[in-house]
Amino acid sequence: MAHVLIAEARFYAHLNDMLLAGARAALDRAGHSHETVTVPGALELPGVIALAAESGRFDAFVALGVVIRGETYHFEIVAGESARGLMALTMDGLAVGNGILTVENEAQAIVRADASQGDKGGDAAEAALALLALRGRFS
């Protein structure tokens, strides 16, 4: 049984609640324990996962958040840099599932976050578990 950290950015709490429900359900179905930590926004997700990894308490990580395009360039920075940070952690050997939605509007986010529709939270948890299994296979 793996112990998984779900790191969630609460900027859009009502949307993140759906992602979180999907991730928790996927981990529960798979029989793994999990903890949740909250950060303010998507840019903080790679940092908190890096800090948690140093503790040695977690086998895998799930990053959840929502980034909705606005009127400024900030969307590109947050979307790109949060993804880059998570990818760097993955390349360093961590099993990280990226559940950060990068969408044009709230309607797109709802479709992707809702467990009965897109279930991207569940998908991110399953991705983290798949990487964990592969890491074990290649060790």
Give me the catalytic one of 3, 32, 34, 74. Answer: 74
What residues contact 80, with CB distance under 8 A and at least 6 apart? none
Binding residues: 11, 42-44, 66-68, 71-72, 98, 112
What residues contact 15, with CB distance under 8 A and at least 6 apart? 66, 101, 106, 109, 110, 113
The reply to whether 14 belongs to the active site is no
Binding residues for 5-amino-6-(D-ribitylamino)uracil: 11, 42-44, 66-68, 98
Q: How many helices (H) and strands (E) does the chain have?
A: 5, 4
Binding residues for (2S)-2-hydroxy-3-oxobutyl phosphate: 71-72, 112
Q: Compute CA 77 distance to the chain's CA centroid, rounded to the nearest angstrom.
A: 18
Query: What are the catalytic residues?
Result: 74
